[in-house]
Structure 1
Amino acid sequence: MKIALVAESFLPHTNGVTHSLLRVLDHLAARGDDAVVIAPEAPGAPDRVGDAPVVHVPAVGWPGYRDVRVATRGVRTLARVLERTAPDVVHLASPFVLGWAAVRAAAAVRVPAVAVYQTDVPSYAAAYGAPWGEPLLWNRVRSIHTAADLTLAPSTAAIAQLGALGVDRLALWPRGVDTVRFDPSRRDAALRARWAPGGEVVVGYVGRLAPEKRVGDLARIARMPGVRVVVIGEGPEGARLRRRVPEAEFAGFLGGGELARAVASLDVMVHPGELETFGQSVQEALAAGVPVIAPRAGGPVDLIRHGENGFLYAPGRLDQMAHAVQSLVDDPYLRLLMGAHARVSVEGRTWPRVCATLVDHYRAVTAPTGAHR
């Protein structure tokens, strides 16, 4: 097959959408399929990734977020690109602005479109001080996904969310995890000694430092005796969080082997965000043998088996979060047992398996009896 992957964001900006697309590109290349990436232009953006060319669409930066690029071209431009590249299927990665133009362009040139729901953009409106915008944003989400031939959602919570909007033609497609890179064997005693020289239990967070992630909730546990909080990541809230949680170690942005080593060196992970459609950093921590504590909301509900590989707490109940942390601080045997269960719980979620399922979805919409209308 030939697949056009329309990316709302792409290299050199790294995030969950980019990471997933790179794994999909690896899988398609290994199968011998052809792929082309269509993404907003950005300084330093590559013209190719492996064998896949990258078509850059004119874009502008989002005010205050230089890494966020918003495409400025519409349906006609995208239709011309699709006519020129002639794909069998269009893959819409976390569609919103560019994806809205692309799903209509795909319909115009009669190419089936698979929309991959990945980011709960509308719910971010309140976190960023614009709750009035949430209904408008949900209208855009509904319009995109009802226009697509198939929508792939990463969790049961996301499927329920989209179903409540009136989106049909839904299927579950979770994310994969690199179980070689994220492995308990990456645990580093020297790094732990630097983080916790007094032998404290290392409780970490991994992800963007942004309002919707609720990283400030970690202040509740940062002063607990015997605990050292480590925050891995960067973002617009970085400076404010350093002031709010001065007891924490802020490791900054880490990638590659550095990230894998850091994650495996945690004793417990707390992911306080309540708007996760999936929770990739949760899955990576589990693969590294780290029990995870998170709100009972969104994607983490599918990943965390309460009392087995971590704990779930009621959204907003920071007392429950602190109690869960305390139980793992007090009981090293329980941490060890939950860590072992954590690793086993995600061992079957490899990217090759997940991407093989994605190809099956491509086949379904391109078949004569598929979802394409």
Structure 2
Amino acid sequence: MRVAIVAESFLPNVNGVTNSVLRVIEHLRRTGHEVLVIAPDTPHGEPPADRVHDGVRVHRVPSKMFPKVTSLPLGVPRPRLVGVLRGFDPDVVHLASPALLGYGGLLAARRLDVPTVAVFQTDVAGFAQSYGVGAMSRAAWAWTRHLHGKADRTLAPSTSAMDDLLAHGIPRVHHWGRGVDVAGYVPSARDEALRSRWSPSARPIVGFVGRLAPEKHVERLAVLARRDDLQVVVVGDGVDRAKLERLMPTAVFTGALYGAELATAYASMDVFVHTGEHETFCQTVQEAKASGVPVIAPNAGGPRDLVAPMQTGLLLDVGEFEARLPAAVDHLLDERQRYSVAARRSVLNRTWPAVCEQLLVHYDAVLGRRGARAA
């Protein structure tokens, strides 16, 4: 099968969309399929992004920043996208978290009569509210409905995301979750030397991993950072970092970590807290659980499918999140061993190869529908 992936975000930006696309590429190549990636270039004035990744050609399109909507650059589609797709001759076009570039890829695919699978992964309406432009929420849903309504199939990563899409009139919605590297994220990666550097007085460590942007609401950790019996560790980088460092001067900010360093960071935490409610899935929750770390998250969005309350962690109502967070942390610390074992066990069957095989079933389904339509 020849698969063209139109990715709204890709390297050098590392986030949930990028990581999912990388895993899909790995699986497609490993199972004998051919791949083309179409993705945004870096913004004007920055070094150009790579045109090849792991042997896969990456066609780059110009990008622009839209700071009132997202902290990431958005690709701007060009008319020659049709020619790029025609030259590759894909069997299916995979639209990864489509917005501007994804819409261009969708129209190009429709012009060439190539079936499309659109992966819903970014809550643009929720992001708009976090950036102080809540009036854009209705417009964002109208755009999402228009775009996904033209796709042959929309894949949602969680029950909550599926419900939102269906409630807003989006058709042909199916479930496709996310895998986790259970061999890379392991409890045994816990590093006592790192824990001592983070917390010289051996205070329990409460951590967050993610992009430091308004929609993540990392400021909700301040109620913990003010305590003298806990050590808050923030892993990640982004536009809010300086503000958060001023707000939480006692917290440790590591910057962005990847690979083995990230796995060690997860495993070296005692409790993991995800603070934002606008997650369609929330991969960091899965990674923390694979690392044997109990999780606290808002009772909203993707974490509802990932956290079993009183078993692998706790879900807190968004309106009471900060008020209930200190007691929730204390509870998980008191019973950490029980939660840790259950958290790890809960993700052992959620490997990326298994999840990507499910994706291939979705590809086959739209190919069959398009073939039946042509007949």
What's the TM-score, normalizing by structure 2? 0.94
Instruction: Give the match's secondary structure for 1:316.
Output: helix
2:326 counterpart of 1:322: yes
Cα distance in structure 2, aligned partners of 1:172 and 1:146: 16
Cα distance in structure 1, aligned partners of 2:187 and 2:106: 41
Q: How does 1:93-104 map to 2 (within 5 A)?
A: 93-104=96-107
Instruction: Give the match's secondary structure for 1:98.
Output: helix
Deviation digits for residues 6-29 of structure 1 (CA, Å, limit 9, x no counterpart): 011211221111111111111001
> 1:66 offset after TM fit, Å?
11
Instruction: Give the match's secondary structure for 1:111.
Output: coil
Equivalent residue in structure 1 for 2:316, among 302, 313, 316? 313
What fraction of aligned residue pairs are identical, expressed as a percent? 48
**Residues 13 and 67, structure 1, Cα contact 8 Å, conserved in 2:** no
Cα distance in structure 2, aligned partners of 1:192 and 1:260: 13
Aligned to 2:273: 270
Equivalent residue in structure 1 for 2:221, among 212, 218, 221? 218
Equivalent residue in structure 1 for 2:296, among 288, 293, 297? 293
**Residues 68 and 128, structure 2, Cα contact 8 Å, conserved in 1:** no
Deviation digits for residues 48-98 of structure 1 (CA, Å, limit 9, x no counterpart): 222321112233344599983333334x32222211111000000000000
**Residues 216 and 244, structure 1, Cα contact 8 Å, conserved in 2:** yes
- What is the identity, as a one-letter code, of the residue corresponding to 2:21? L
Cα distance in structure 2, aligned partners of 1:199 and 1:368: 59
Instruction: Give the match's secondary structure for 1:11.
Output: coil
Report the CA distance shift for 1:102/1:372 in structure 2 as closer, same or farther (over 3 A): farther
2:146 counterpart of 1:143: yes
2:69 counterpart of 1:68: no
2:135 counterpart of 1:132: yes
Instruction: Give the match's secondary structure for 2:80.
Output: helix
Deviation digits for residues 158-181 of structure 1 (CA, Å, limit 9, x no counterpart): 000100111121111111111111
Cα distance in structure 2, aligned partners of 1:66 and 1:172: 25
Report the CA distance shift for 1:368/1:145 in structure 2 as closer, same or farther (over 3 A): closer
Q: What is the aligned length?
A: 369
2:72 counterpart of 1:55: no
Q: How does 1:167-206 map to 2 (within 5 A)?
A: 167-206=170-209
CA RMSD of aligned residues (A): 1.8
Aligned to 2:345: 344
Cα distance in structure 2, aligned partners of 1:127 and 1:254: 25
**Residues 313 and 332, structure 2, Cα contact 8 Å, conserved in 1:** no
Report the CA distance shift for 1:324/1:370 in structure 2 as closer, same or farther (over 3 A): farther
**Residues 69 and 127, structure 2, Cα contact 8 Å, conserved in 1:** no
**Residues 229 and 248, structure 1, Cα contact 8 Å, conserved in 2:** yes
Instruction: Give the match's secondary structure for 2:319.
Output: coil
> 1:138 offset after TM fit, Å?
1.2
Report the CA distance shift for 1:66/1:161 in structure 2 as closer, same or farther (over 3 A): closer
> 1:369 offset after TM fit, Å?
6.7
Cα distance in structure 2, aligned partners of 1:174 and 1:240: 33
Instruction: Give the match's secondary structure for 2:272.
Output: strand
Report the CA distance shift for 1:63/1:268 in structure 2 as closer, same or farther (over 3 A): closer
Cα distance in structure 1, aligned partners of 2:141 and 2:284: 25
Q: How does 1:12-161 map to 2 (within 5 A)?
A: 12-42=12-42, 43-62=47-66, 68-74=72-78, 76-161=79-164
Cα distance in structure 1, aligned partners of 2:337 and 2:177: 27
- What is the identity, as a one-letter code, of the residue corresponding to 2:130? A
- Greater shift in the superposed pair: 235-244 or 76-85: 76-85
Instruction: Give the match's secondary structure for 2:227.
Output: coil
Cα distance in structure 2, aligned partners of 1:87 and 1:216: 44
Report the CA distance shift for 1:239/1:12 in structure 2 as closer, same or farther (over 3 A): same
- What is the identity, as a one-letter code, of the residue corresponding to 1:17? V
Instruction: Give the match's secondary structure for 1:358.
Output: helix
Deviation digits for residues 186-215 of structure 1 (CA, Å, limit 9, x no counterpart): 000000111112221100011011111111
**Residues 364 and 370, structure 1, Cα contact 8 Å, conserved in 2:** no
Stretches of structure 2 lacking an aligned partner (at least 5 in a row):
none
Instruction: Give the match's secondary structure for 1:131.
Output: coil
- What is the identity, as a one-letter code, of the residue corresponding to 1:33? H
- Greater shift in the superposed pair: 195-204 or 274-283: 195-204
Cα distance in structure 2, aligned partners of 1:53 and 1:343: 36
Stretches of structure 1 lacking an aligned partner (at least 5 in a row):
none
Instruction: Give the match's secondary structure for 2:340.
Output: helix
Report the CA distance shift for 1:65/1:158 in structure 2 as closer, same or farther (over 3 A): closer
What's the TM-score, normalizing by structure 1? 0.95
**Residues 149 and 372, structure 1, Cα contact 8 Å, conserved in 2:** no
**Residues 62 and 69, structure 1, Cα contact 8 Å, conserved in 2:** yes
Instruction: Give the match's secondary structure for 1:179.
Output: coil
**Residues 366 and 372, structure 1, Cα contact 8 Å, conserved in 2:** no
